Amino acid sequence: MATFTKHSEDDEGLPHATKKTMADHLRKFEALFNMTPQRMRMIVEAFKESLEQGLAKNGQIVPMIPTYVFGWPSGKETGMYLAVDLGGTNLRVCLVKLEGGGKFEITQAKYRLSEEQKQEDGQRLFDFCAECLKAFIDSHQESGLIPKDEVLPLGFTFSYPCSQERIDHGVLIRWTKGFGAPNTEGHDVVEMFRKALAKNSVPASVVALTCDTTGTLIASHYVNPKTRIACIFGTGCNAAYMERVRDIPKIAELGIDPDTEMAINCEWGAFDSFEHENLPRTKYDQIIDETSNKPGEQAFEKLISGRYLGEILRLIICELIDEGVLFLGQNTYKIEIPYSLDTAFLSLMESDPTDELLMIIGIFSHFFALETTLAERQFFRALAKLVARRAARLSACGIAAIVSKMGYLEEGCAVGADGSLYNKYPKFADRIHEGLQDIFGEKGKNIVTYHAEDGSGIGSAIVAAMTKERKDANIYPNY
């Protein structure tokens, strides 16, 4: 069997595509993935229309879920609150001491969830949550951090699709993130958690159920009152913002003062699902959609989330392998495995500043046993940039739709953003800002994204504090 060593452009041991061939292909992909400002503005208009439809009626593509979080935090919220976040990998328990003035202290612990726990009976899952919370409280009562004989209010972060009729209630519509615990879908998860708390004699009272995006909105505004929107750009994507009740026709019959504001959990990853009329889907996006576990759904998410960007690049590479352009004479089976090229690899490709693009050499040789030339490495980096830039510009379209709908452009606003893509992918935030300026012109500079506060910990606690204050004051106590 022949062995190949690294070689220069002048002394190639394998047949390789020329620089000119790679440049010709790159031009083709630039035409596919580039988005003009005009196209972006058209997407923004369609996005706005979808947001309006979701507010008007139930059962729309973008569901626009009312959260029963009324208005912004005052920043004066004080006291001790518990926060529990049932995530995809861990159970997180926090003790948050709100000190007012946008200040807080947080103490937390994480408990790993086993794959078995995600699939066993739902009540047993909530029993485990209660047991972990009890252990956390007991240890901090011993240290004197939590007073004994005190029942603390608790904010519960549960980022799975729920229908809510009030803030301390949520019927699970369907599990996501690999969970499949039976006897939970169609049940009120707050009631199940309360049952587990009572069984384990846990001195905590669930006052609010929220999702991580709504928590991020509230936590970010508590620290930075210019915040009007919160977004998550990670494995999934979502946004939340504050809407006037008079502009949420589907809850008109609740009799809430039309001037009151309520946080809306957009669940905007579903934008343009099923019909696919507005987003610029390439054949690679269509393959990802058709081979996914939910074809036709989450159309926006499939173009911009960290779960899919690496796969888009991998599909392009595989097509060029099939066309006899790349890796001739090499064994390419490893890169032909779906989802083997992680989005983290793309971020490494873009972060490597060296002329020889050493990071890309390492990725392809170590993970896929493939040799690359300089022309190929430059092509891969340019391709990674095209895919990630499109994702960021589409993310800007989502933000712009809310900004435009709410009239925030003139005065400007801050957008609290979180998630692995926003936090870790080089230039992702810069490309969102560039996209906003392409949509709005110079005024786009008035919309600034920044790294958000912790929504599932601090945000959840602040929501609990706001809810307790509201109900103590007898303001919409039934919601």
Q: What is the pLDDT of residues 403-424, one digit of tens each?
A: 999 999 999 999 999 999 999 9
Per-residue confidence (pLDDT) for residue 466, from 0 to 100: 95
In a domain, 133, yes or no: yes
Instruction: Please compute the mean of the pLDDT values over residues 303-323 and round it to a whole number.
Output: 96
DSSP state of 456: I
pLDDT in tens, 332-361: 999 999 999 999 999 999 887 776 588 899
Per-residue confidence (pLDDT) for residue 21, from 0 to 100: 85
pLDDT in tens, 249-291: 999 999 999 999 999 999 999 999 999 999 999 999 999 999 9
In the structure, what pLDDT confidence band is assigned to residue 9 with cuts at 50, 70 and 90?
very low
- In angstroms, the CA 405 to CA 316 distance is 36
Per-residue confidence (pLDDT) for residue 120, from 0 to 100: 92
In a domain, 146, yes or no: yes
pLDDT in tens, 141-171: 988 899 988 999 999 999 888 888 999 999 9
Q: Which residues pair with 84 in a beta bridge?
A: 93, 156
Report the percent of the chain where pLDDT is more than 90: 81
DSSP state of 273: T
Provide the mean pLDDT of the chain.
92
Tokens 């996005």 -> residue: 47
Per-residue confidence (pLDDT) for residue 355, from 0 to 100: 60
- In angstroms, the CA 395 to CA 49 distance is 17
Tokens 């509201």 -> residue: 470
Q: Which residues pair with 97 in a beta bridge?
A: 80, 105
In a domain, 82, yes or no: yes
Map residue 197 onto helix, strand or coil.
helix
Residue among 249, 276, 283, 282 at smallest CA distance from 264: 249
Active-site entry in 85, 92, 127, 159: 159
Q: Looking at the predicted structure, is the pLDDT value of residue 307 above 50?
A: yes
Residue among 331, 282, 334, 333 at smallest CA distance from 308: 282
Q: Looking at the predicted structure, is the pLDDT value of residue 301 above 60?
A: yes
Domains: count for the chain: 1
Q: Indicate whether this model's pTM tops 0.75.
A: yes
Active-site entry in 24, 139, 174, 351: 174
- In angstroms, the CA 429 to CA 353 distance is 19
- In angstroms, the CA 373 to CA 354 distance is 15
Active-site entry in 85, 188, 212, 454: 212
For residue 205, give the H/E element and its range.
strand 204-210
In a domain, 98, yes or no: yes
Q: Which residues pair with 78 in a beta bridge?
A: 99
Tokens 């392809």 -> residue: 364
Instruction: Please compute the mean of the pLDDT values over residues 127-152 and round it to a whole number.
Output: 93
Per-residue confidence (pLDDT) for residue 4, from 0 to 100: 34
Q: Please tell me which residue, 471 or 18, carries the higher pLDDT value.
A: 471
In a domain, 5, yes or no: no
DSSP state of 267: -
Other beta carbons within 10 Å of 93? 25
Residue among 97, 90, 100, 224 at smallest CA distance from 157: 90
Domain holding 99, by residue range, is 74-224+454-472
For residue 259, give the H/E element and its range.
none
Cα 266 to Cα 190, 364, 444, distances in angstroms: 21, 39, 22
pLDDT in tens, 77-103: 999 999 999 987 889 999 999 998 888
Per-residue confidence (pLDDT) for residue 293, from 0 to 100: 82
Q: Looking at the predicted structure, is the pLDDT value of residue 5 above 60?
A: no
Task: Using DSSP bridges, classify how beta strands 227-233 and 413-418 pair: parallel, antiparallel or unpaired.
Answer: parallel
In the structure, what pLDDT confidence band is assigned to residue 325 with cuts at 50, 70 and 90?
very high
In a domain, 464, yes or no: yes
Residues 6+ apart with CB under 8 A from 430: none
Q: Where are the alpha helices (DSSP H) in 323-419?
A: 343-351, 358-368, 374-406
In a domain, 259, yes or no: no
CATH of the domain at 79: 3.30.420.40
Instruction: Please compute the mean of the pLDDT values over residues 420-437 and round it to a whole number.
Output: 96
Instruction: Please compute the mean of the pLDDT values over residues 179-188 and round it to a whole number.
Output: 93
158-190 burial by CB neighbour count: b if 16+ within 10 A, else e? bbbbbebebbbbbbbeebeeebebeebbeebbb
- Nearest 5°: the CA angle 344, 346, 350 is 120
Would you give the end-to-end CA distance of the chain in angstroms?
71
pLDDT in tens, 196-250: 999 999 999 999 999 999 999 999 999 899 999 999 998 889 999 999 999 999 9
Cα 84 to Cα 65, 200, 414, 460, distances in angstroms: 21, 16, 27, 8
Q: Which residues pair with 263 in a beta bridge?
A: 242
Task: Using DSSP bridges, classify how beta strands 204-210 and 103-112 pair: parallel, antiparallel or unpaired.
Answer: unpaired
Q: Looking at the predicted structure, is the pLDDT value of residue 446 above 80?
A: yes
Task: Pull the structure tokens for residue 39.
Answer: 């196209």
Per-residue confidence (pLDDT) for residue 13, from 0 to 100: 57
In a domain, 191, yes or no: yes
- In angstroms, the CA 19 to CA 322 distance is 19
Instruction: Please compute the mean of the pLDDT values over residues 43-50 and round it to a whole number.
Output: 98
Q: Verify whether residue 174 is a known catalytic residue.
A: yes
Q: Are 54 and 62 in contact (CB under 8 A)?
A: yes
